[in-house]
Structure 1
Amino acid sequence: MGIISWIIIGALAGWLASIITGNNKNMGAGKNILVGIVGAFIGGFLLNLVGGIGITGFNLWSLFVSVIGSVILLVIINALTNKSKI
């Protein structure tokens, strides 16, 4: 995947994760992209640990993996900053 693909998947995944965790009004486009990209690494790593397939390219599976990782990241951040919204 190229840098543009990472940014698009990151933006979508970060935005969806921020909606799921209730952080949407506190996050802008830059934070959504950053959370989505880091979430893709987290989701891919965790799926590889359990024998699954992580990020496979610019497709719905990669978006799903990125959203799962992004939700995990935002839940951890919310727990550390005492801003639990779930």
Structure 2
Amino acid sequence: MEIGGLISALIIGLIVGALGRLIVPGRQDIPIWLTLVIGVVAALIGTAIMASLTASFWLTLIVQVVLAAAGVYLVTMLRGGRHSHA
């Protein structure tokens, strides 16, 4: 993989992580850097899953964002639960 591909993968991963965090309701008590790491991992896994199923950018992006939201939710639960602004 060349440097341009790596940089674009990281940028897409950062966006996917941010979108995934926005989807999860309530306040997530995890640092932003962890959200971004989750986004990068979700982008890589989503791309791997969807590569054999479709070439659609939009469907792949949806799968990546859903995976990121699931990752943010899971990490939030493992770190001690969600807190809401009540």
- Same fold, judged at TM 0.5 (above): yes
Where does the alignment leave 5 or more consecutive residues of structure 1 unmatched?
A: none
Shift of 1:85: 5.6
- 1:9 is matched with 12
Q: How does 1:20-31 map to 2 (within 5 A)?
A: 20-21=23-24, 22-23=26-27, 26-28=30-32, 30-31=33-34
Quick one: structure 1 residues 60 and 38, their matched pair in 2 at CA, closer, same or farther if it must change by over 3 Å? same
Aligned residues: 79
Quick one: structure 1 residues 23 and 33, their matched pair in 2 at CA, closer, same or farther if it must change by over 3 Å? same
Are 2:32 and 1:34 aligned?
no
Quick one: structure 1 residues 67 and 60, their matched pair in 2 at CA, closer, same or farther if it must change by over 3 Å? same
- 1:67 is matched with 65
Larger RCO, structure (CA 8 Å, separation 6 or more): 2
The letter for the 1-side match of 2:79 is T
- 2:53 is matched with 53
SS of 1:79's partner is: helix
Quick one: structure 1 residues 25 and 16, their matched pair in 2 at CA, closer, same or farther if it must change by over 3 Å? farther
**Residues 27, 82 of structure 2: 8 Å contact kept:** no
SS of 1:82's partner is: coil
Greater radius of gyration (CA): 2
**Residues 21, 72 of structure 2: 8 Å contact kept:** yes
Identity %, equivalent residues: 25
Shift of 1:37: 1.3
